[in-house]
Structure 1
Amino acid sequence: MDQTENQKLFKILLDTAQKVSRGAYEQTSSLMELTNQEKYPPMVSEMAEALGMMIVKVEGREFYLEQLLEQLKAKNKKLEETLARVRLLEGIRGHLNKFVPKSVQDIIEHNPENPDLDKHERDISVLFLDIAGYTKLSETTPREKMNHLIETYFSEFLDIIMENHGDINETAGDGLMILFMDHDPKSHAKNAVSAAVGIQKRTAQINDTLRKEKDPLVVNMGINSGMAAVGSTRFSGITGDRWTYTASGPVTNIAARICGIAEKGSVLVSESTASLLDQQFAMGAPESKILKNVSAPVVVRQIHID
């Protein structure tokens, strides 16, 4: 085979290599022809065979990469769907946290798969807060304005309650039930009274700010300390189950009754709470009171607000 013919063959090999470099593999058939050693020079045949093997390997790797890319796309889609569900669940959680007591949130976060929401006996302090004259005030005040008024005061109370490690357990139109829990009974009693004092001082500040718009709001509070059953209660009906998480028992009931006899913006504490305070607060003399639906008289003392 003369030199001109060899140059043509090498030109074919060169063109094929250039096309392969650009991703065109349709020259495989012409390469197979050039691998015929009986028809073409050994060097041409060897180069054609080597180039053909290279094309096979490149095509194999490209196929593998394409498959891998498809798998990555599928995984990425699943990941995006999972992230969307996580964002949805985080949104739901954020909304639920507005309604679920923090004590319940803490229990679920500590053990989300099997949270212990059963009732347990715990030493606690319970604070009941009530707005005096709420019924009469709601009759003479437009509903929107009344809601705004209550939200203004209660929103201000929230930070004070949280700062003193309290947990708003229940709300009514004119009141709050707040739980204070700690391993040390003296700590939760002190926190409850500190929160009550802070709320009274903040109430006075808000009243002063709004004095030109309305009459002062009067907030009465009652506090009691002792052992209570703290946990969930389930009510079952034909429409399904309804769960609540609260503290129940005489300690809670007496705290509510003490709040019921508080007047003129006073904070009354039971003797069981007062005995835990170590003279940290100025208090009035003990007074024996008859409380509604409580068989024995209960000794209470008034916390003096500076």
Structure 2
Amino acid sequence: MTALAAKMTDTRKRILVVDDSLIMRQLVSEIVDSDPDLAVVGTAENGRVAIQKVRQLAPDAVLLDIDMPEMTGLETLRRLGLRSPCKVIILSSLVTNQDASERVEALRLGAAAVIGKPSGGVSLDLKQKRASEIVGVLRQALGLPAIADPPITPAASPTADLIAGPIAELLFAGLDIAVLLFDHTGHLMRASDAAGRILHGCDLEPGRATIASICDTFNHTLASELWDLIGGGDAPAPDEIDFAMPDYSWIPLGRTIMPVELPGQARGVLLVLEDISEKRRLQALLNKTMSSEVAQAAMTATSPTLGGEMRDVTVLFADIRGFTALATALGAHAIVDLLNEYFSYMTDVITAEGGMVDKFIGDGLMALFGVPNPHGDDADRAVAAARKMQRALTLLSERHAGPPLRIGIGVCTGPVLAGQIGSPARMNYTVIGEAVNLASRLEAATKLYGSQILICGETRSRLRRTVPVRQIDVVKVPGIETPTVVHDVFVHEPEAMAAGWLAAFGAGLKAYLDGEITVALDHLARASAANPEDTATRVLAQRCRRLALLKPGEWTGYWSLDER
């Protein structure tokens, strides 16, 4: 059976899933495919790709996220609603109640429905519930009539040129930018030589081409701006736009619109378009090697220089446990594929919480929260990201055969030097300082305590949100003089029955730090009996047995992590 015949015999409704999160795209696709009457025909990571795929795949419905880079969900919805018959259903964490402004705007723009999705980059409950609401709303929306196109107003007859003479010839022939002059009826009167090259494939014949014909292919926002200015409105500020070409491709353009007013003539409009493809290409390349904020700063800087400034930052280190054995078992190609998917999941989560991945270090990564732009709650964001990273790991492990992946995460907050560090010929935006060293040490210590996430005392003191956490030790790490309190963050809320052993552990930890070794051993024995699987309890009990051999006064109240 040919592909065309298969398409004709497949009666399932065709769905396109659009979300900038790889995790969310995969989960939502699984949910849609769980319905026998629905089929995911494609996914898109942003609005520009989504519009292109709508035209190529002709889906019956689009599940669309609002909060996306480059082109927002609302802008994508606006463009789709004007020319595409497919239903658009908003799926976004930004929309959580009936009065949300995003919900009102989405419905005004023609969305068939608006569904609030779980917040963050990871959605375990989304998978567990199989998202009956998503499937239900999809089925309901696909039974409604298609959105009709708005009526097209017939064009008025053209008028004479608005500009003529030597200046006009210089403007339209001598500049390497697209310059288009429209009269008050929307007809194209003049076009620069460069316009034909930049807007290749568009009909730019003066007197025949119009605003409607040039902006007919998903460029309706631009058309509205031109008509608003002709009608007497104010000129919009210069901006960057993505212009849809007749061949389904996109071209990034710098857009400037100016009114043309001559004595005795109705207002026309001058549209100036500059091809910024190279700028976008360079920025996209930089975005793959650094955060978008750092990339933007590098693009606008006249000449990046070495140096930095002291900033308050929360640093996160993560590392895969047992990676060497895993790499040996899987082989080179398979382990690289797994690492790429793992880093994609982790980057999704970190970015969703406002962090930036500083670097990948073998099978580990280092992420920063608070630079280049602080949020005021960066410690909360880092801890939330750490917990969601562990949950994302569970989802990733379910998709692969073999033993589940395990990672340890260390988080520390403190002052660091942030900026361009390296040599004049090669530099990198990063941070250096004690907080970086301590976060790395805490990540390594997760193996000692059997923990998934360890945070320092300073990070704990900055937390505003309620997080399930217990103090686990006071330690001194090599290279840092001041001992630090260490806390163990739980990925999931402890069950009610855990209160007993947690209380016994807390009492044992206090006695241990106070040097009351006998009392500490008694409490830790009760904690171990209630929860034999707790590694931290065994570690402290072993230390207490060693400390019992010391002379009075020799115990300092903290443990050095370079000791075994």
Alignment correspondent of 1:152: 341
Number of aligned residues = 235
Alignment correspondent of 1:126: 315
1:105 positional shift: 2.2
Residue 137 (str. 1) matches residue 326 (str. 2): yes
Q: Residues 66-116 of structure 1, C-alpha deviation per residue, up to 9 Å, x if partnerless?
A: 99769734434567589897322322221221112334124346x544678
How does the TM-score come out when normalised to structure 2? 0.38
Alignment correspondent of 2:532: none
Partners of 2:166 and 2:420 in 1: CA distance: 55
Match of 2:429 among 220, 233, 245: 245
Partners of 1:125 and 1:67 in 2: CA distance: 57
Match of 2:398 among 208, 214, 230: 208
Residue 254 (str. 1) matches residue 438 (str. 2): yes
CA contact (8 A) 1:258 1:291 kept: no
Change (3 A) 1:292 1:136: farther
Match of 2:357 among 156, 168, 172: 168
Partners of 2:389 and 2:352 in 1: CA distance: 11
Change (3 A) 1:246 1:67: closer
Alignment correspondent of 1:104: 294
CA contact (8 A) 1:224 1:269 kept: yes
TM alignment of 1:228-239, pairs within 5 A: 228-236=416-424
Partners of 1:140 and 1:265 in 2: CA distance: 25
Partners of 1:208 and 1:256 in 2: CA distance: 28
How does the TM-score come out when normalised to structure 1? 0.67
Give the secondary-structure state (helix, strand or coil) at the position aligned to 2:471. Answer: coil
Partners of 2:307 and 2:296 in 1: CA distance: 14
Partners of 2:465 and 2:337 in 1: CA distance: 38
Instruction: For structure 1, list consecutive stretches of 5 or more residues without a partner in the other structure.
Output: 1-63
Residue 225 (str. 1) matches residue 413 (str. 2): yes
Give the counterpart letter for 1:261 in structure 2.
A
**Higher relative helix content:** 1
Change (3 A) 1:67 1:285: closer
Question: Highest relative contact order (Cα 8 Å, sep 6+), 1 or 2?
Answer: 1
1:167 positional shift: 0.6
Change (3 A) 1:157 1:71: closer
1:268 positional shift: 0.2
- Which has more radius of gyration? 1
TM alignment of 1:36-51, pairs within 5 A: none
Change (3 A) 1:78 1:115: farther
CA contact (8 A) 1:225 1:251 kept: yes
Change (3 A) 1:72 1:246: same
Residue 190 (str. 1) matches residue 380 (str. 2): yes
Partners of 2:169 and 2:484 in 1: CA distance: 76
Give the counterpart letter for 1:268 in structure 2.
L
Partners of 2:471 and 2:307 in 1: CA distance: 39
Q: What value does the CA root-mean-square deviation take over the aligned residues? A: 3.0
Give the counterpart letter for 1:72 in structure 2.
F
Give the counterpart letter for 1:208 in structure 2.
E
